[in-house]
Every structure is written in C-alpha cells, then in structure tokens.
C-alpha cells in the first residue's frame, strides 16, 4: 500500500489545463506542475499589428490563447495536454485585437528598476541576484531627491553603505549610466536579452 494511504493522506491529484485527474489522464500525460521550466518559459507578446509589446510566461500565454484573445505565431516542440487535445507550447503569440500601449506603460517599482538596470549595481558595475540588490536615491531624499525613474538606481549593499546619505560625487562613486524612464527602446533591449536564445523572436524584434 502506498505510504500516503498508510498515513491517512490522500494522493495529490494531477491538475492539467482541463482539470485532468489520474483516472482521466491520457496515456503519456505529463502534468504542467512537473514541468515548471516549460510553463514559466518566456513568450514574446505581439500586438495585432505584429509590434512586440511585452514578454509573458507560457502559462499566461496559454490562458490568452484558450480565451481566444491571442493566437500562436511561433511554437516550440513541447506540448501541453488537456483532456481533449494537445497544445504546442507557444514561443510568440499575437493579440487578435489591437491594444493601445501608453508611451510609459511600466509602473515605477523595485522589480522594474532592477529590470531596467539588468540586476547590475549602477556604481560598481557588478551583476547580482535580485535579493542582493537594493534601490538607491542618486540625490538623497534628505536633500529633496524624489522616488522617480530618473533618481532611483539598482545598487549593491556595499556601494549603498559606502554612499550613505551623500551624492555619488561626494562619496567618490560614479554612475555607470544616467537613469532614465522605460522607453520603447529600453523595452526592446530587454526583450532581446530575455529571448536571445530563441531565434524565433529575431524577426519580430528587428535584430
């Protein structure tokens, strides 16, 4: 008898796109839960005009496709199975209805600042995991510095402690690059970095 049953615990059901359980799973079914790398892989999102506008995960892309909001333009070899059909994992999807994208569509947040700065300390130039970075106000808040795209940068804890409540010049530090808001150019550059291993993205990002 299974150890789970001996201890009074019920086996955990397999959940797929169509609510597949062990009794109804087709032969060879591989639940998405066992393939997190596939379901979290990046997918390029195009507007209805084929303009690249975002990067999402396979899981979200499949939801958009199943809702009839988007269609796959490029696919990978992997498949996700539901109770009734197999769906090729998308690499590039396109929205079926045009969506107006504001010029500045990204919210000011720690995640987006780190994304813009590519997880690189803007003073020493070293790359770090997100957990080892903080945000620094170039002009300290005590001197009127605002929390804005132009005044916030990714910073390692060593440089942050060295800078303290001073300007970079006063602390003997130099910015790697001037902080700027997200622009279409910045977003495209990030899309290229995220999808550099997938050649299917190239013709949409104008390499």
Same domain, 132 and 162: yes
Cβ contacts of 155 within 8 Å, gap of 6 or more: 121, 122, 123, 133, 134, 135, 136, 163
What's the chain's average pLDDT? 80
Tell me what percent of the residues of the chain surpass a pLDDT of 70: 78
Domain count, the chain: 2
The answer to the question of residue 2 being in a domain is no
Of 80, 66, 83, nearest to 22 by C-alpha is 83
**96, pLDDT greater than 70:** yes
Task: Report pLDDT digits (tens) over 128-144.
Answer: 998 999 999 999 999 99
Task: Report pLDDT digits (tens) over 141-162.
Answer: 999 999 999 999 999 999 999 9
Same domain, 156 and 120: yes
Mean pLDDT of 86-114: 86
Task: Report pLDDT digits (tens) over 65-84.
Answer: 999 999 999 998 888 887 77
Same domain, 29 and 97: yes
Same domain, 147 and 206: no
**49, pLDDT greater than 90:** yes
Instruction: Let me know the angle formed at the C-alpha of 174 by 171 and 175, rounded to the nearest 5 degrees.
Output: 125
Same domain, 28 and 97: yes
Q: DSSP readout, the chain?
A: --HHHHTTPPPPPP--TT---TTTPPTT---GGG-HHHHTSEEEEE-TTS-EEEEEEHHHHHHHHHTTSEEEEEEEEEEEE-SS-EEEEEEEEEESS-----SS-S---HHHHHHHTTTB-TTT--B--GGGEEEEESS-GGGT--SSTTTEEEEEHHHHHHHTTS-HHHHT---SS------HHHHHHHHHHHTTT-GGGHHHHT-
Same domain, 92 and 23: yes
Domain range for residue 122? Answer: 110-171
Of 40, 11, 27, 23, nearest to 81 by C-alpha is 27
């Amino acid at each position: 008898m299974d150890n789970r049953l001996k201890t009074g615990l019920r086996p955990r059901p397999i959940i797929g796109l169509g609510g597949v359980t062990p009794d109804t799973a087709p032969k060879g079914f591989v639940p998405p839960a066992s393939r997190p790398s596939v379901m979290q892989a990046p997918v390029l999102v195009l507007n209805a005009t084929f303009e690249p506008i975002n990067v999402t995960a396979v899981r979200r892309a499949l939801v958009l496709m199943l809702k009839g909001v988007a269609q796959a333009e490029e696919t990978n070899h992997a498949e996700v199975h539901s109770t009734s059909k197999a769906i090729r994992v998308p690499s590039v999807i396109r929205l079926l209805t045009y969506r107006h994208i504001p010029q500045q569509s990204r919210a000011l947040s720690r995640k987006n600042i780190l994304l813009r700065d590519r997880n690189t300390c803007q003073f020493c130039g070293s790359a770090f995991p997100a957990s080892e970075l903080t945000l620094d106000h170039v002009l300290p808040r005590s001197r009127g510095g605002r929390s804005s795209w132009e005044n916030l940068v990714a910073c390692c804890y060593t440089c942050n402690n060295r800078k303290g409540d001073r300007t970079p010049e006063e602390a003997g530090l130099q910015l790697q690059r001037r902080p700027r808001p997200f622009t279409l150019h910045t977003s495209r550059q990030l899309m290229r970095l995220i999808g550099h291993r997938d050649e299917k993205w190239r013709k949409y990002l104008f390499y």
